[in-house]
Amino acid sequence: MGNIDLIFKIAGVGLLTAVLSTLLKEYKKDDYAVLATLGGLTVVLFWVVQLLGNLFDQVKSVFKLF
Amino acid sequence: MDILQIVGLGLVVCVLAIILRQQKPPMATLLTMTAGVIIFFIMMPQITGVFNILRDLAGQANISMVYMGTILKIAGIAYIADFGSQICRDAGENALASKIEFAAKIIVLVMAVPIIVAVLQSLIKLVP
């Protein structure tokens, strides 16, 4: 319940990586731009996978699915 | 947490997802996935409350727990399958979404077979 701020963290990281990659593209450093995007994406993926793990545990416990 | 807060949260996430989809489409999908999970967590207490009441009623009406358990399991499978397939459809992967729904239908069918067999057997007993 308390992790509503996770939504804004993800939005923040997403926007930051978008700005960072366009900035890096301006400086003709396209490879770094790709790395920055991948970095941001992995951080967000880490959070989301953790959250999905919690969801699946909760669903298993609520619906007695095992 | 009533419906107003959930709708407010949904609208905020919708706007954020639109912004993100222009810049970084994968991030928007992750954002909508998170919002879906959070809304489910918000509704968790109500769901568990309803299911406990259902179990008590089934206990009093001495319906065997096998049928009630299967019904709850099918509800859970339907919810999770719909959750996954809708997110895949949002991300534009319609083929993947229909594969998930196909698998869910098969699993539900497999779970429903014992009940169908039980009903048929009781029917056969009725016919002289």
Using the predicted structure, report yes or no on whether residue B87 has a pLDDT greater than 90.
yes
Binning pLDDT at 50, 70 and 90, where does residue B34 land?
Answer: very high
Contact B76 A62 (CB under 8 A): yes
Q: Which residue has the tokens 């339907």?
A: B78
CA distance A61 to A52: 14
A10: nearest Cα among B6, B65, B12, B96: B12
Task: Tell me the pLDDT band of B1, cut-offs 50, 70 and 90.
Answer: low
Please check whether residue B108 lies inside any domain of the structure: yes
Q: Give chain A positions within 8 Å (CB) of B9.
A: 4, 7
- 8 Å CB contact of B27 and A64: no
Confidence class of residue A3 from pLDDT cuts 50, 70 and 90? confident
Share of chain A above pLDDT 90, in %: 74
Residues 37-66 of A with CB under 8 A from B: 37, 40-41, 44-45, 47-48, 51-52, 54-56, 58-59, 62-65
When scoring B2, B5, B24, B52 by the number of chain A Cβ atoms within 10 A, the one with the most, hence best to mutate, is B24
A63–B1 CB contact, under 8 Å: no
**Could you tell me if residue B96 is inside a domain?**
yes
Is the predicted pLDDT of residue A2 greater than 80, yes or no?
A: no
Q: Is pLDDT above 80 for B128?
A: no
Among the partner residues A1, A48, A64, nearest to B30 by beta-carbon distance: A48
The Cα–Cα gap between B40 and B30 comes to 16
What is the number of domains present in chain B? 1
> CA B91, CA B106: separation in Å to the nearest integer?
24
**Chain-centroid distance, C-alpha B103:** 14
**Residue-range definition of the domain harbouring residue B76:** 64-128
CB < 8 Å to A53, chain B: none
Token reading at B54:
């259902």
The answer to whether residue B36 sits within a structural domain is: no
Banded model confidence at residue A1, pLDDT cuts 50, 70, 90: low
CB atoms within 10 A of CB A20: 17
Mean model confidence pLDDT for chain A: 90
- Residue pair B55/A62 in contact (Cβ under 8 Å)? The answer is no
Domain layout of chain A by residue ranges: 3-63
Predicted TM-score (pTM) of the model is: 0.85
Average model confidence (pLDDT) across chain B: 91
Domain annotation covers residue B76: yes
Tell me, yes or no, whether B16 lies in a domain.
no
B80 CA to centre of own chain:
4
Q: Which residue of B has its CA nearest to A53?
A: B37
